[in-house]
Amino acid sequence: MHDHALNISDLTVSYHRIPALHHIAFEVHCGHSVALLGPNGAGKTTLLKTLAGLLRRESGKIHFHGREVRGATPDIAYLPQRGQIDWDFPTTVRGLVEMGRYLRLGWWRRYGAADAKAVDAAVATMNLEALQDRQISALSGGQQQRAFLARALAQEAHVLLLDEPFAGLDKPNQDILKDTLRKLRESGKLLLVSHHDLGTVREIFDRVVLLNGELIAAGPVAEAFTEPNIHKTYETKVFAGVDHGKPI
Amino acid sequence: MRRALTGGALIGFTNGFLGTFIILRRMSLMADALSHSMLPGLAIGLWFFGLSAGGLFFGGIVAAFFVALGAMLLARGSRLKEDASLAILYTVAFSIGVVLLQFVPTRVDLKHYLFGNILGLGDTDLWIAYGVALVVVPGLLLLLRPLLLALFDPSVAQSQGVNVNAIQLALVAASVLAMISSAQAVGVILMLGLLVTPAATLYLLTDDFGKMLWGGGILGCAGSIVGLLISFRFDQIPSGAAIVLVLGVCFVLAWIFGPRYGLVARLRKSRHFHEESLLRWGRGSSGGH
């Protein structure tokens, strides 16, 4: 089991020298879908961005498959919040998924038949065949998300980091996304998903990580997603190292 | 005249090609600032080297570089955001340029530097246009994948090892080169039009990145040639104004008649929707045809 693990140890990340995450340590494995829970400002997005290699760590190590992750790696795909994307960008769904291959191919290696096949497969898995020639703004929110998941599949990423994917989706689209995430988990991907709705945690995820500036709990839903842990995560103030300017 | 047309075509293609990146990276304002800051550079080049293209080239690069650098430092070191710092820097730089040009020993007409004068296009200018085209276009093509990733989604690109800051810097450098090559033909005030308008026109017409890129280059090239011919025919029209006007007409046509994003298409689309609702809800007694 060990070599399919994403292991995080002693992770501290700061903004302008004020820590947002304090000495986080946990381990999750491929084939699981993990909910990242915590109040606003708890460091969920910070953790995802750090794992994606977007933020500098102050301390700590990240290991995947037994190897240390130092910067960028195509094994880990980060799916940004919807608001960060320029949806008017001149590209089709297929063009977007092809970008996933560029990440594998590097700057100059030729885009070949194998790449086209991988793109076909990714598009098919996400049920986007009929939409692949559409410009990306002509998709619904749920379809846009699946297009980005397809890009991560084409990239052959093993770890998918999703930032609030359920935000702004209506019920039918939430159901589709739930289903999609289940399929991805069953195919052996590791999903790390920041999530707001505590009511749906049990039906979507099998692992949780509870964050509140520090790690409150991490583990299987049955063990870690308990009343006292939830209370501790949401009822206390976010630990930020300072309280009204005074060190705690 | 053949020299002018060759030069114009090259300059137009390079600028139009680069324009796609400038628009999608939302650097138009930055490019505007760079273009204006070239004036003091041109003046200094005139001062030291006289009316030689090499001197102007050198001066333009130095001035644009200082303004770009200054804006970045000012934005990082103070509360001001980059747009405000750029606005201050480039207007000051431009004013310095206007003042300097009054004292330059060589008598020059300010108008030629502001709006372009293709008749002044010498052999060296042509070589510069060749050189810039040969650096900028293949350079952008070599970096196409990281550029595309960085333009579309900088955060993901960075997470995959694309150095987004370096890409940004490369685009600034390419803009400076492209605009310097167009300084003589289009002038510092209007060079931004040649850089941005062709790609903006294509942006209204296509959803394909490749078509926008090459189409921008071709439109920039064609627009420059037509503009130059007009300027030759009516010699009171500065070449820069003629080129930008031709491109502007193309843009307006695309804006009105573009098949998908044009004004007419959008009006017709809403009417279509209206008809669908009529079908569903039945046509009233006063209903249309």
E-strand stretches of A41-187 = 59-64, 67-68, 76-79, 159-163
The pLDDT, as a whole number, for residue A121 is 93
Angle between helices B144-152 and A93-105 (to 10 degrees): 130
Task: Please choose, from the candidates B6, B3, B38, the residue with its C-alpha nearest in 3D space to the C-alpha of residue B122.
Answer: B3
- Give the angle B88-B92-B98 at the CA atoms, nearest 5°: 150
Within 10 A of B208 (CB to CB), how many other CB atoms are there? 16
The pLDDT, as a whole number, for residue B214 is 96
CB B41 within 8 A of CB B59: yes
Tokens 């794992």 belong to A51
* CB contact B156 to A (< 8 Å): yes
Alpha-carbon gap, residue A220 to A209, rounded angstroms: 9
Query: Would you call A102 and B203 a contact, using CB atoms and an 8 Å cutoff?
Result: no
A10: left (phi over 0), alpha (psi -120 to 50) or beta: left
- DSSP conformation class of A55: S
The DSSP bridge partners found for residue A214 are A212
Q: What is the pLDDT of residues A203-240, one digit of tens each?
A: 999 999 999 989 999 999 999 999 899 998 887 555 55
The pLDDT, as a whole number, for residue A208 is 95
B2-281 is classed CATH 3.30.365.10: no
Alpha-carbon gap, residue B38 to B189, rounded angstroms: 10
**Looking at the partner chain, which of B146, B153, B211 has a beta carbon nearest the beta carbon of A85?**
B153
Q: How many residues does chain A have?
A: 248
User: A46, A87, A91: best mutation site toward chain B, by most B Cβ within 10 Å?
Assistant: A91
Give me the half-sphere count of Cα atoms (radius 13 Å) on the Cβ side of residue B85.
17
Angle between helices B2-24 and B144-152 (to 10 degrees): 50
* CB contact B256 to A (< 8 Å): no
Query: Would you call A90 and B206 a contact, using CB atoms and an 8 Å cutoff?
Result: yes
CB B128 within 8 A of CB B181: yes
Query: Would you call B159 and A102 a contact, using CB atoms and an 8 Å cutoff?
Result: no
Q: Average pLDDT per run of 10 along chain B, which is 289 residues long?
A: 87 95 88 85 80 73 79 74 80 87 75 77 83 93 91 83 87 88 85 94 92 96 94 86 95 92 79 60 49
Cα torsion angle, B133, B139, B140, B142, sign: positive
**Looking at the partner chain, which of A72, A90, A95 has a beta carbon nearest the beta carbon of B160?**
A72
Alpha-carbon gap, residue B105 to A127, rounded angstroms: 71
Residue A80: pLDDT over 70: yes
Query: Would you call B161 and A76 a contact, using CB atoms and an 8 Å cutoff?
Result: no
Q: Which helix (H) or strand (E) holds A11?
A: strand A5-15
- Of all residues in chain A, what percent carry a pLDDT higher than 90? 46
The pLDDT, as a whole number, for residue B274 is 58
Contacting residues for B171 by C-beta, under 8 A, at least 6 apart: B18, B21, B22, B25, B27, B147
Mean pLDDT of the region A92-101:
92
**Looking at the partner chain, which of A73, A92, A105 has a beta carbon nearest the beta carbon of B207?**
A92
Q: Which residues of B touch A105 (CB under 8 A)?
A: 145
Tell me the pTM. 0.81
Q: Which residues of A touch B24 (CB under 8 A)?
A: 86, 89-90
Contacting residues for A74 by C-beta, under 8 A, at least 6 apart: A103, A104, A155, A156, A157, B160
Q: Which residues of A touch B160 (CB under 8 A)?
A: 72, 74, 103
Question: Could you tell me which chain A residue has the CA closest to the CA of B211?
Answer: A90
The pLDDT, as a whole number, for residue B133 is 92
The ipTM value here is 0.77
The pLDDT, as a whole number, for residue B275 is 60
Strand, helix or coil for residue A27: strand
Q: What is the pLDDT of residues A116-172, one digit of tens each?
A: 999 999 999 999 999 999 999 888 888 888 999 999 999 989 999 999 888 888 888
Tokens 């989604």 belong to B153
Phi first, then psi: give them for residue A195, nearest 5 degrees. Answer: -145, 145
Name the minimum distance, in Å, from the CA of A52 to any CA of chain B: 5
Q: Which residues of B touch A152 (CB under 8 A)?
A: none
The pLDDT, as a whole number, for residue B216 is 96
Phi first, then psi: give them for residue A167, nearest 5 degrees. Answer: -65, 130
Alpha-carbon gap, residue B114 to A132, rounded angstroms: 47
**Looking at the partner chain, which of B149, B155, B206 has a beta carbon nearest the beta carbon of A102?**
B149
Residue A36: pLDDT over 90: yes
Q: Which helix (H) or strand (E) holds A127?
A: none
The pLDDT, as a whole number, for residue B277 is 64
The per-type count for chain B, helices as H runs and strands as E runs, is 14, 0
Alpha-carbon gap, residue B200 to A211, rounded angstroms: 45
Looking only at the bridges linking them, the beta strands covering A190-194 and A159-163 are parallel
Residue A247: pLDDT over 50: no
Alpha-carbon gap, residue B220 to B23, rounded angstroms: 14
- DSSP conformation class of A92: B
Q: Which residues of B touch A103 (CB under 8 A)?
A: 149, 160
